[in-house]
């Protein structure tokens, strides 16, 4: 599937940028192949416009936010100073006198944009689903850690299926938590939900001394109770619970991922971490480092895959599967149903199917 070629994804909210990055002025982002500019309006709320001035097409992200006076919170183009409000209307042309009105059709497209969980979220068309809930955000007893915000040369589908794939730990993560001697994946219990599905399992995990403040457990091998939920189209929530130890509740390590589609070959990894412990129990820097090492392992292998993942499974022979790919197949099914419900077929690069040839007995 070529993600940016499927219009239905325009109808969902996507996490686009941490609000802190907008404090310094307007910022560009590419969402589903559309160049947008984000800025904070006069109320400090994020706004999103097409990153194209309607005068001579300069990128509005090269301009600036006006910080005072009657045009405070408006976005000024850096070329000739035309100035936009959050609806995309040109509200000021400095070359005109104050008495001369701006024609009402002078505008650039504006998109749905809202602040939630410390991020600006954007929907290019009228959204048909809510932003996934993050009940731990700001809740007593929980810490919020903004872990990752970075571009990967892969597709959301690849990142999603990887995040539900129990059979790669012993290989991709053999240097970290994967147990190399146990390649047989633990089975998920899977249940469909309205927003996607819910998958639950318990997996063994290496727990060397360096990880023991993360897990709160002192054994060399421990378990992770994984509660993993998929939300259409490109988000997931992974709640990892470690066993209780020393009379304390098990540590919870709750990761939220939004795999935001940039274009057909790139996505933005947005990752929040929630923990039910304190800085004294396990420092934030250690938590970021721990997940960073694992995340680098996933990134390297995923960037070697073809971002054009098969969604329509009737296209047999492009990719082959095994039992543990079931969550990935369920994601495909849900995405395929979504496309179908909106009158879309999967758009893909027709791959050259290489016929499988019998192995030569003659050699050379």
Asked whether position 85 contacts Fe ion by CB under 5 A, the answer is no
Q: Measured between alpha carbons, how far apart are the two ends of the chain, in Å?
A: 39
Pick between residue 30 and residue 228 the one whose CB is nearest to Fe ion. 228
Pick between residue 96 and residue 171 the one whose CB is nearest to Fe ion. 171
Please choose, from the candidates 182, 180, 228, the residue with its C-alpha nearest in 3D space to the C-alpha of residue 326: 228
| Of 48-56, 139-147, 158-166, 246-254: span binding ligand FES (CB under 6 A) | 48-56
Pick between residue 76 and residue 222 the one whose CB is nearest to ligand FES. 76
Q: How far is the CB of 16 from ligand FES (least distance, A)?
A: 23
Pick between residue 220 and residue 300 the one whose CB is nearest to Fe ion. 300
Asked whether position 58 contacts ligand FES by CB under 6 A, the answer is yes
Asked whether position 136 contacts Fe ion by CB under 5 A, the answer is no
According to DSSP, the residues that pair with 254 across neighbouring strands are 239, 274
The binder of 288, among ligand FES, Fe ion, none, by C-beta within 5 to 8 A per type, is none
The binder of 298, among ligand FES, Fe ion, none, by C-beta within 5 to 8 A per type, is Fe ion
| Radius of gyration, alpha carbons of the chain | 24
Q: How far is the CB of 58 from ligand FES (least distance, A)?
A: 4
Pick between residue 80 and residue 289 the one whose CB is nearest to ligand FES. 80
The binder of 109, among ligand FES, Fe ion, none, by C-beta within 5 to 8 A per type, is none
Give the x-and-dash track for 68-97 against ligand FES (CB under 6 A). ---------x-xxxx---------------
Q: Which two tokens stand for residue 287?
A: 């938590």
Asked whether position 298 contacts Fe ion by CB under 5 A, the answer is yes
User: Which residue from 56, 139, 316, 342 is in contact with ligand FES, where contact means CB under 6 A?
Assistant: 56
Task: Report the interface residues with ligand FES, using CB under 6 A.
Answer: 53, 55-56, 58, 77, 79-82
């Amino acid at each position: 599937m070529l993600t940016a070629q499927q219009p239905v994804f325009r109808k969902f909210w996507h996490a686009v940028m941490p609000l802190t990055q907008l404090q310094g002025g307007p910022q560009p982002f590419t969402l589903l192949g559309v160049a947008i500019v984000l800025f904070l309006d006069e109320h400090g709320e994020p706004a999103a416009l097409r990153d194209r001035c309607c005068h001579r097409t300069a990128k509005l992200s090269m301009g600036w936010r006006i910080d005072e006076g009657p045009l405070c919170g408006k976005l000024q183009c850096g070329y000739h100073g035309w100035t936009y409000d959050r609806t995309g209307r040109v509200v000021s042309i400095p070359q005109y006198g104050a008495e001369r009105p701006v024609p009402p059709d002078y505008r650039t497209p504006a998109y749905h944009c809202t602040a939630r969980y410390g991020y600006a979220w954007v929907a290019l068309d009228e959204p048909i689903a809510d932003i996934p809930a993050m009940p731990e955000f700001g809740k007593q007893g929980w810490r919020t850690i903004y872990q990752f915000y970075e571009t990967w040369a892969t597709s959301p589908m690849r990142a999603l299926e990887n995040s539900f794939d129990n059979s790669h730990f012993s290989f991709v993560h053999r240097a970290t938590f994967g147990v190399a001697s146990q390649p047989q994946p633990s089975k998920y219990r899977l249940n469909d939900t309205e927003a996607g599905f819910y998958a639950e399992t318990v997996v063994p995990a290496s727990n060397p001394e360096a990880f023991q403040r993360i897990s709160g457990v002192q054994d060399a091998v421990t378990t992770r109770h994984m509660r993993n939920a998929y939300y259409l189209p490109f988000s997931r929530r992974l709640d990892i619970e470690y066993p209780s130890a020393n009379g304390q509740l098990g540590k919870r390590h709750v990761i939220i991922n939004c795999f935001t589609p940039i274009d057909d070959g790139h996505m933005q990894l947005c990752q929040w971490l929630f923990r039910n412990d304190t800085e004294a129990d396990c420092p934030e820097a250690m938590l970021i480092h721990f997940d960073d090492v694992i995340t680098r392992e996933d990134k390297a292998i995923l960037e070697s895959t073809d971002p054009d993942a098969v969604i329509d499974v009737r296209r047999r022979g492009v990719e082959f599967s095994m039992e543990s790919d079931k969550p990935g197949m369920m994601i495909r099914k849900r995405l395929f149903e979504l496309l179908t419900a909106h009158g879309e077929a999967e758009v893909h690069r027709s791959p050259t199917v290489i016929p499988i040839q019998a192995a030569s007995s003659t050699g050379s």
